[in-house]
């Protein structure tokens, strides 16, 4: 069992000031969470609930955590990736009334899981996950808690994928909202968020440019689409690798080259994996890559690039820059791995995670899903649930209102027309 | 009751030669239909079936029609829009063994519906629609045929929308595949097909350019996304109007301006409607538009621009060019309507409809759906059905193979990983 | 010697009505020429001058011709390409007071040059060329006229290139403005005009789409940049071929693939030449091309694709569509040539040439250049001259004013700052 | 007089290691400089020369400095901006044989100019500037050195602008190459380099995203074009402000909105100035801006945003993040200034300056210009000189060769054709 971060930091006051300053900046650019905070403070919907969270603990997540606490919940939080925690934010969060934070950067595996158990020890009635670590740990090791859990919400593609597999096996014992699958989440977080922040993180970690580069994007799901689109928008030449024929065709029709990795490996200058799968770039690919290539991962887990095989191939390895590990091959070629193959937009030294506004949208959906569990939890059986349309629309409307974007509404005649089918050509 | 086109044309041989030449060009660029034709000729899956079709009768549709006949079916076809029929293609099709074509360009309402009835008179066992005219007519006027109908396939957004409304009312009495809703159809046909062909048709009808133009796109569904994207790709400045908050937000996040039509009307140089709804551009909008604007519709029906109101406002109206009707306002402003407000990529004099390759994909899905009805029709209850994933994937694979695009496949380890959920961070 | 078009047409009245209607549409979208016409009508700057023109005779050029006549000139015009003349516009122009038009579509070489001589027979004091045919003919065959010629203006890249070569040889004996080289001409006409109209013409002639196509663009000058950019904006995958290293590098840095034609030939679906040079696509390339490729030229002369070599290779050739000639190889591959290798945005049956607004800008520069020759012709020695900046800016300001685009102006402090160099860091 | 950096740093060894590591990374991605280094080491073209440099002292510039020293020169260098120096790189450079570095981050004005004088004290025979500080100081205070100076090279738009003003006043007394004006420099450095690095620096300093943002770009020169293009490529909605009508029109035709700053101020979310002029954003604009806007400068000097006026308006000011100073208005609006209004891609805490590869091209041109001065300096009179085409092409060819990009070359027939003007239509 671990202790809250505040008991472990040396310069606690300084850390809290620094973390609070980051949170203040975030909330300035999170109008959806700002509007929901006002609503939650007034209504206290979470009064009496205990919320367990395992997410990337940095400024934006902290804002979500804080507004849940502001709505009356007791919140316990830890990280969902050992390298993505900002200790100062974790400390500032731990100082918030109603919040306990166990997250600490750079912990080892044992400490990582101890922190998850510390959160579970709060006996949460609601879980909020980014990668389903809480759901998995509760089902495996603390099944006795499930009876008192109203439900959960899951942030990522990978988490939802794993939850569905669990659900299909009949092993998911409480309802979980697939926040990842809403338009609000997928389009903005995955496409714009992952796309922009991955590229900016790579550029600022390496001081390299995109113009004229051949960028190999593995996976053409929402994250891959975002990375490909934004890289192309910086004048890179994009090659896509895929395993699903319709996605491969979609990428081809978008104007990208589609190739097997076995061919793309020799052509790429930068490789960005977004598949959520393992062994996307492996030994046979390393062997044909050019000198100086960059290898980065934008998928949830660090299994897409086979670093073990790369280590075995290398005759030397060293840190070329902060966040860049160079593997030198016997023939002199240097292959540069960013952020140890972990999420490149979260795990490089200067990385800040997804952009603030994008997370505002995701977390807006998270927040209304938690509210929905409290208000209507009985309506949902155990299993994975799509976020109800009305919640998703509510968040979109809050955002448009905050951005000052006005749009049309259907007239009665139009609404009627859309519902009818008797009219002719 | 009407007669086949061949009995009505003067220069039948010349028409058939011309139509055949158009079909030869199309099939040269329709590799999916080409591959399916070989399959159908060998297997004769449609032997004994009668297929009724109401679609835009031009070269690409003719290729679909012909491969269904090549698979053993007796096919009767008519148009689904009085202005989109190419008489020469209709004649060439009518000459194909097993095909009867009733489609003729420029028929009036009475003749249009008479041709639909002529098709129904063949007592089809399968219907293939683009706008659900056949389904509607059979349900309204020939309910006695429904017992012997295996099912149908519907091509368009609008048709599917109407079918769903009908289905929800419990009034759809046989199974219909929503071809429109497959990725293969929506992404390529709606986004790329409608987008490219609408813009090319407008440019070549008016001799005007896109660079620097303000283009107002109404509706940000798949067609609207395509039109906006392709217009932006020609250096137009795009404004989007929408009624659904998530689509409005999606357009905003893409970098487009989103405004109510009441504001956009005064700013646009070109207006393109893609909503599938009526009264999108009405009197109050005409009153604020600039001199010289273009008004075009890329939605299924000609009800998006209120031409009656425009006629009432105009002090004079004349054909400025083939396919362009100018309405002159009392204050001298000239508002130019393309293709009488009908589908601008089908109904201008030079319009050719969707690009050949794009239709190859849609029609590939249509063809395998018809095959599915014959092979497994009993599996489908009355109502609207999604196209099974395996059919959609089959078509994607045929296309990629034809384009020479190679792609990856999952290893066993990867497939297993994607199905598991027990692994950790 | 030839006669004016009006003496050669059968249905003269109908032709004139049709041509006039096309000109009316053009002038509606040519605000620069509209503003200059008002100026010229008031000032009569060309009173007493004879202007000889050899240009593509269609609606937009006709507007330029007409405003020069409106300014007091006697104008004689003929075509600069046998396939680009619209006879109806030629006839309508010939009916304009002060204008004689000799241009006729489809004339043979002898008639073509006879028409040029007919224009020269008017003893022009100013020449306006698109391809320097008039300048060449006068220098070669009518040198006695040079003494009374004030100067000329040349529209195209190719014409300016040839004039410079002539100038360097000391053989250009009167001043000619290189209208092509102004920002107003090059950016808008070459980039946007050639780019958009070439693609639209190809799409509407073939009914094919760009999405997913591999488009090989030969030459990365302004026209090539436009074609590449607009094709990419329609989701094509663009390959560029070049002979100049800096242009090759520029294309590479833009994100395009750069390859020798010997490699690109086997990969392209569509080939568009824009080099202004000959023998860009030759026998060795035809031999490796895929079945069904399109070959189009957007450069001034029809020498970029070696059609003689293609004819020699072909075992059969036939018109697949209007504007598309198919050459069938011994191995069954079909290579489709558009517009006989002539300018694809001018010479296909449905082609309309550059977009109206783009030509408005080019012709605005032409018009003020002609005015400059009349007003300050003595200031210019024999040779090629850049268009003075003030003229180019004048046209830009007229255009922005017409478009309702407002922009900033320098304050006195700013202007002073820009002129100073003493200020520190 | 100041002393070399090595005499002023505490942890000199650590700094040198860190700086050397940065330089190693840079040279790995600078193939042009790598190829030139080999050439220079073999030929020793700079033997006996003293080169004075005032440039941003970070890893890439260090590579240029080092290859000049490798070619035999004695090099003295200082910074051209007090905030852009990396002390570790400066120290590593100072340790290179033949190089003395005076650059130190954060020096005050007096120290800044003392360091420039220290460089001049080496009595350079060649100057290499980024902002013409050396040229200015030598002409103003050390005119006696001019006789022995062969010439100079200037890197930036702003520096060249000031040099031309000086030249026009007859006050530039030795030849200077306008490196900035070559295609190799302008397109890649200004467009791609400034564009990409400014946006990445802003994104990573603020953790904000571009999608859906309204970005106001002031100035549509090469830097402005790059910023606008790359911002648009990240799905921002771009507004351009300009004072030159042709540039304003060019931006309009590209599809951007063009407005006066007085209008744009109220609409922008992010403002990026690239004009090279002063007072671009001033009091009247601050007054109408929205809460939370970002103000950044990508022009050479920190005079584009009027920070004095902003300070006067503000009721409070504080550091919201590293590199972000917030000015709070009386009405509560917060205006956030990045990098104190200095170059945003150089002067934020995490900024790394232009991308490595882009600087490789600029510095390749610099290096061959310095070689040209040594080899053919007598051919150039005092004044600003364009970089000879052959040098620029040489660098392009080295780059393409390094990237493995092959391209075509003219055949004899083609070369002859391009030089001829007698051929007909």
Residue D423 has pLDDT above 50, yes or no: no
Domain extents for chain A?
5-185+355-403, 192-341
Q: D209, A22: Cβ pair inside 8 Å?
A: no
Of B192, B207, B358, which has the smallest distance from its Cβ to C352's Cβ? B207
| Domains A5-185+355-403 and A192-341 agree in fold | yes
Instruction: State the best of C29, C186, C204, C207 to mutate against chain B, taking most chain B CBs within 10 Å.
Output: C207
CA distance A377 to chain D (A): 34
What number does CATH give the domain A5-185+355-403?
3.40.50.1480
Please check whether residue C263 touches A, CB under 8 A: no
Please check whether residue C181 touches D, CB under 8 A: no
pLDDT by residue for chain A (425 residues), tens digit each?
589 999 988 899 999 999 999 999 999 999 999 999 999 999 999 999 999 999 999 999 999 999 999 999 999 999 998 888 999 999 999 999 999 999 999 999 999 999 999 999 999 999 999 999 999 999 999 999 999 999 999 998 889 989 999 999 999 999 999 998 888 777 888 899 999 999 999 999 999 999 999 999 999 999 999 999 999 999 999 999 999 999 999 999 999 999 999 999 999 999 999 998 999 999 999 999 999 999 999 998 899 999 999 999 999 999 999 999 999 999 999 999 999 999 999 889 888 888 999 899 999 999 999 999 999 999 999 999 999 999 999 999 999 998 899 999 999 999 888 877 544 43
**Cβ-based contacts under 8 A for chains C and D:** 165
Please check whether residue A412 touches B, CB under 8 A: no
Q: B207, C234: Cβ pair inside 8 Å?
A: no
ipTM for the assembly: 0.88
Please check whether residue B82 touches A, CB under 8 A: yes
Q: Which residues of B touch A246 (CB under 8 A)?
A: 183-184, 392-393, 396
D60 is in an annotated binding site: no
Q: B188, A253: Cβ pair inside 8 Å?
A: yes
Model pLDDT, residue B1: 56
For D302, name the nearest residue in chain C, comparing CA atoms only.
Answer: C425
Report d(CA A354, CA C409) in Å as an integer: 39
Q: Which residues of A touch C240 (CB under 8 A)?
A: none
Q: D204, A209: Cβ pair inside 8 Å?
A: no
Please check whether residue A231 touches D, CB under 8 A: no
Q: Which residues of C touch D82 (CB under 8 A)?
A: 425
**Cβ-based contacts under 8 A for chains A and C:** 30
Phi–psi pair at A268, nearest 5 degrees: -75, 150
Task: Give me C25's structure tokens.
Answer: 């549409």
Q: Enumerate residues 6+ apart whose C-beta is below 8 A from B378.
A: none
A157 is in an annotated binding site: yes
Please check whether residue D248 touches C, CB under 8 A: yes
Please check whether residue D413 touches C, CB under 8 A: yes
Q: Which residues of C touch B198 (CB under 8 A)?
A: none
Q: Which residues of C touch B28 (CB under 8 A)?
A: 292, 320, 334
D219 is in an annotated binding site: yes
Report d(CA C422, CA D19) in Å as an integer: 34
A155 is in an annotated binding site: yes
B309 is in an annotated binding site: no
What number does CATH give the domain C190-341?
3.40.50.720
**Fold of the domain built from segment(s) A192-341:** Rossmann fold (3.40.50)
C299 is in an annotated binding site: yes
Q: Which residues of A touch B242 (CB under 8 A)?
A: 407-408
Helix A195-206 vs helix D195-206: angle between axes, to the nearest 10 degrees? 110
Model pLDDT, residue D347: 86
Q: D396, C241: Cβ pair inside 8 Å?
A: no
B242 is in an annotated binding site: yes
Q: Identify the architecture of domain B5-185+354-403 in CATH.
A: 3-Layer(aba) Sandwich (3.40)
C379 is in an annotated binding site: no
Please check whether residue C242 touches D, CB under 8 A: yes
CA distance A236 to chain C (A): 5
Q: D334, A358: Cβ pair inside 8 Å?
A: no
Contacts with B, D 190-219, CB within 8 Å: 211-212
Please check whether residue C321 touches D, CB under 8 A: no
B220 is in an annotated binding site: yes
Q: A235, C253: Cβ pair inside 8 Å?
A: yes
Q: Which residues of D touch A192 (CB under 8 A)?
A: 209, 211-212, 235
Q: Which residues of A109-141 are buried (b: 16+ CB within 10 A; e: fewer)?
A: eeebbbbbebbbebebbbbbbbbbbbbbbbbee
Please check whether residue D422 touches C, CB under 8 A: yes
Q: Write out pLDDT tens, residues D233-244.
A: 999 999 999 999
Please check whether residue D321 touches A, CB under 8 A: yes
pLDDT by residue for chain C (425 residues), tens digit each?
589 999 989 899 999 999 999 999 999 999 999 999 999 999 999 999 999 999 999 999 999 999 999 999 999 999 998 888 999 999 999 999 999 999 999 999 999 999 999 999 999 999 999 999 999 999 999 999 999 999 999 998 889 989 999 999 999 999 999 998 888 777 888 899 999 999 999 999 999 999 999 999 999 999 999 999 999 999 999 999 999 999 999 999 999 999 999 999 999 999 999 999 999 999 999 999 999 999 999 998 899 999 999 999 999 999 999 999 999 999 999 999 999 999 999 888 888 888 999 899 999 999 999 999 999 999 999 999 999 999 999 999 999 998 899 999 999 999 888 877 544 43
Of A211, A212, A255, which has the smallest distance from its Cβ to C212's Cβ? A255
Q: Which residues of B touch C196 (CB under 8 A)?
A: 203, 209-211, 234
Q: B29, C188: Cβ pair inside 8 Å?
A: no
Task: Give me D291's structure tokens.
Answer: 């809460």
Residue D121 has pLDDT above 90, yes or no: yes
For D276, name the nearest residue in chain C, comparing CA atoms only.
Answer: C418
Report d(CA D399, CA C246) in Å as an integer: 10
- Going by the DSSP 8-state scheme, the letter that residue C418 receives in this structure is H
Of D184, D246, D278, which has the smallest distance from its Cβ to C184's Cβ? D246
pLDDT by residue for chain B (425 residues), tens digit each?
589 999 988 899 999 999 999 999 999 999 999 999 999 999 999 999 999 999 999 999 999 999 999 999 999 999 998 888 999 999 999 999 999 999 999 999 999 999 999 999 999 999 999 999 999 999 999 999 999 999 999 998 889 989 999 999 999 999 999 998 888 777 888 899 999 999 999 999 999 999 999 999 999 999 999 999 999 999 999 999 999 999 999 999 999 999 999 999 999 999 999 998 999 999 999 999 999 999 999 998 899 999 999 999 999 999 999 999 999 999 999 999 999 999 999 888 888 888 999 899 999 999 999 999 999 999 999 999 999 999 999 999 999 998 899 999 999 999 888 877 544 43
Of D243, D253, D400, which has the smallest distance from its Cβ to C407's Cβ? D243
Cα B146 from chain centroid (whole Å): 25
Q: Do residues D161 and D131 make contact, with C-beta atoms less than 8 angstroms apart? A: no
Of A248-252, A414-418, D120-124, D247-251, the range with the lowest mean pLDDT is A414-418
B193 is in an annotated binding site: no
> Which of 3.40.50.920, 2.40.128.110, 3.20.20.370, 3.40.50.720 is the CATH number of B188-341?
3.40.50.720
Q: D212, B236: Cβ pair inside 8 Å?
A: no
pLDDT averaged over every residue in chain D: 94
B235 is in an annotated binding site: no
User: Which chains does chain C touch, 3 or more C-beta pairs < 8 A?
Assistant: A, B, D
Q: D204, A352: Cβ pair inside 8 Å?
A: yes
Contacts with D, C 107-136, CB within 8 Å: 112, 131-133, 136
Model pLDDT, residue A1: 56
D345 is in an annotated binding site: yes
CA distance D231 to chain C (A): 15
C189 is in an annotated binding site: yes
User: Which chains does chain B touch, 3 or more C-beta pairs < 8 A?
Assistant: A, C, D
Q: Write out pLDDT tens, residues D172-223.
A: 999 999 998 888 777 888 899 999 999 999 999 999 999 999 999 999 999 9
Q: What is the 3-state secondary structure (H, E, C) of chain B?
A: CCCCHHHCCCCHHHHHHHHHHHHHHHHHCCHHHHHHHHHHHHHCCCCCCEEEEECCCCHHHHHHHHHHHHCCCEEEEECCCCCCCCHHHHHHHHCCCCEEECCCCCCCHHHHHHHHHHHHCCCCCEEEECCCHHHHHHHHHCHHHHHHCCEEEECCHHHHHHHHHHHHCCCCCCEEEEHHHCHHHHHHHHHHHHHHHHHHHHHHHHCCCCCCCEEEEECCCHHHHHHHHHHHCCCCEEEEECCCHHHHHHHHHHCCEECCHHHHCCCCCEEEECCCCCCCECHHHHCCCCCCCEEEECCCCCCCECHHHHHHHCCEEEEEECCEEEEECCCCCEEEEEHHHCECCCCCCCCCCCCHHHHHHHHHHHHHHHHHHHHHHHHCCCEEECCCHHHHHHHHHHHHHHHCCCCCCCCHHHHHHHHCCCCCC
């Amino acid at each position: 069992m671990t202790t809250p971060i505040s008991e472990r930091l040396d310069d606690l006051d300084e850390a809290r000031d620094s973390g609070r300053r980051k949170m203040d900046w975030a909330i300035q650019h999170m109008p959806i969470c700002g509007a929901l905070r006002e609503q939650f403070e007034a209504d206290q919907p979470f009064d009496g609930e205990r919320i367990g969270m395992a997410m990337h603990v940095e400024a934006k997540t902290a804002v979500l955590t804080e507004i849940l606490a502001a709505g009356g919940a007791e919140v316990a939080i830890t990280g969902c990736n050992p390298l993505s925690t900002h200790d100062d934010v974790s400390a500032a969060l731990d100082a918030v009334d109603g919040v306990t934070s166990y997250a600490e950067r750079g912990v080892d595996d044992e400490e990582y899981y101890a922190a998850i158990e510390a959160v579970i020890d709060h006996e949460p009635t609601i879980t909020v996950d980014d990668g389903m670590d809480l759901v998995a740990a509760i089902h495996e090791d603390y099944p006795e808690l499930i009876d008192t859990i109203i439900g959960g919400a899951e942030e990522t593609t990978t988490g939802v994928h794993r939850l569905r597999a669990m659900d299909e096996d009949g092993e998911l014992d409480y309802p979980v909202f697939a926040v990842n699958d809403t338009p609000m989440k997928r389009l903005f977080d995955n496409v714009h968020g992952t796309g922009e922040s991955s590229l900016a993180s790579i550029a600022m970690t390496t001081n390299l440019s995109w113009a004229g580069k051949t960028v190999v994007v593995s996976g053409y799901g929402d994250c891959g689409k975002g990375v490909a689109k934004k890289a192309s928008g910086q004048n890179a030449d994009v090659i896509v690798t895929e395993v699903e024929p319709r996605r491969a065709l979609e990428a081809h029709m978008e104007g990208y080259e589609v190739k097997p990795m076995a061919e793309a490996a020799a052509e790429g200058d930068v490789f960005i994996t977004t598949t959520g799968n393992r062994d996307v770039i492996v030994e046979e690919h390393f062997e044909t890559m050019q000198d100086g290539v960059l290898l980065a991962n934008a998928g949830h887990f660090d299994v897409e690039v086979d670093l073990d095989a790369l280590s075995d191939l290398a005759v030397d390895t060293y840190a070329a820059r902060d966040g860049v590990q160079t593997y030198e091959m016997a023939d002199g070629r240097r292959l540069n791995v960013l952020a140890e193959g972990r999420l490149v937009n979260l795990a490089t030294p200067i990385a800040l995670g997804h952009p603030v506004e994008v997370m505002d949208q995701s977390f807006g959906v998270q927040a209304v899903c938690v509210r929905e569990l409290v208000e209507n939890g009985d309506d949902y059986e155990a299993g994975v649930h799509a976020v109800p349309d009305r919640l998703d629309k509510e968040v979109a409307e809050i955002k448009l209102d905050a951005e000052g974007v006005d749009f049309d509404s259907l007239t009665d005649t139009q609404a009627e027309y859309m519902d009818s089918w008797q009219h002719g050509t």
